Structure 1
């Protein structure tokens, strides 16, 4: 037990300088959302917020954690499927993600990074035939991969360009091209 406690103290002491230099941030983001399900795809606008911390690793590298909540306008509807005048729609819902970012400092104000982690999205199916209507929602777990570029504008403000690919269960995938603005703390 003493060996484990001693090892934990050494690891904590090694991480203390990185934690002291950690950079917290929050951002708002928007961009293209392209969702594919069962061989069909549709596009819309993604929008949301994210928050995270970046920890320096040496002089040029950093590692970060980020959590995000997004929504989307992506929706596909068909009419006259079973009876004349009916309407069936498939709409994306909220998308929750937790990712790890690994990157390099290109300069004092620019960073290039890759990311990977977990995502969970909601898809809702609605049907209305004019007499009855129904709605069913499903959550899908998946993984997210991506890459991005961050540029600081002064001490506290930044902008980002980011590409994300998400793959969910049930043959659903998503491509995002995002623009973000945020504040460093």
Structure 2
């Protein structure tokens, strides 16, 4: 998966560098900005019985595409946040609460698409993701909250989706993506993240 993610991003980047200026023309070419929202699920990849924890994710994306015939190559960067969290009570003392929350997520990668009609394109994507996880402990006696830790997780992401044009400059899209985070401070955490995203964007 990691090799696939890096290969997708590298192929898109290389094609964009090699393409002449005239190859940028096409209904799916040019810069774009998007608003994103969707379903987020985080789980322990090492436990096949784990259902994980789910929440809502939202954010924005900027990207640039070129088109050669029916093939589209793009680069994109994304920033999202999430409501995904898990909580346990009476962890260390009566009335206390321990919570782990997903935070901001940075993504940088590439995509390769195939135009299947004048309005629609299917694509695959891959790249690098850096997600923050924050843990908190709240005592039962005083209600005081102490931030225990904020950890940044490095990983890779792969995904696929469909983009559909509403007009020459606007579009919507649906996308599934999978992210994996391997280790923190040489500790293998084996964390998997599954997301179903919807987006609306403007191309310019």
- TM-score past 0.5 threshold: yes
* Post-superposition offset of 1:108: 1.1
Is 1:47 the equivalent of 2:58?
yes
TM-score, structure 2 as length reference: 0.80
* Post-superposition offset of 1:89: 0.1
Instruction: Give the match for residue 134 of structure 1.
Output: 146
CA RMSD of the aligned region, Å? 1.9
* Post-superposition offset of 1:56: 1.0
* Post-superposition offset of 1:13: 8.0
* Post-superposition offset of 1:23: 1.3
TM-score, structure 1 as length reference: 0.88
Instruction: Give the match for residue 110 of structure 1.
Output: 120
Q: In the TM superposition, what whole-angstrom CA distance separates every residue of 1:115-168 from its partner, at most 9, and x where no partner exists?
A: 000000000011111445422110000000000000000111100000010001
Question: Could you say what secondary structure the match of 2:168 adopts?
Answer: coil
Matches within 5 A, 1:9-48: 14-19=19-24, 22-37=29-44, 39=47, 40=50, 41-48=52-59
Distance 1:145 1:30 in 2: 17
Is 1:83 the equivalent of 2:117?
no
Higher strand share: 1
Distance 1:13 1:115 in 2: 19
Matched residue count: 174
Matches within 5 A, 1:63-74: 63-74=73-84
* Post-superposition offset of 1:16: 2.2
* Post-superposition offset of 1:12: 7.0
Distance 1:177 1:14 in 2: 32
Q: CA 1:20/1:105 → structure 2, altered by over 3 Å: closer, same or farther? A: closer
Unpaired stretches in structure 2, ≥5 consecutive residues: 1-15, 183-188
Q: CA 1:13/1:70 → structure 2, altered by over 3 Å: closer, same or farther? A: closer
Distance 2:63 2:173 in 1: 14
Greater gyration radius = 1
Is 1:158 the equivalent of 2:177?
no
Is 1:124 the equivalent of 2:134?
yes
Instruction: Give the match for residue 176 of structure 1.
Output: 195
- Which of these residues, 159, 168, 189, is aligned with residue 146 of structure 1? 159
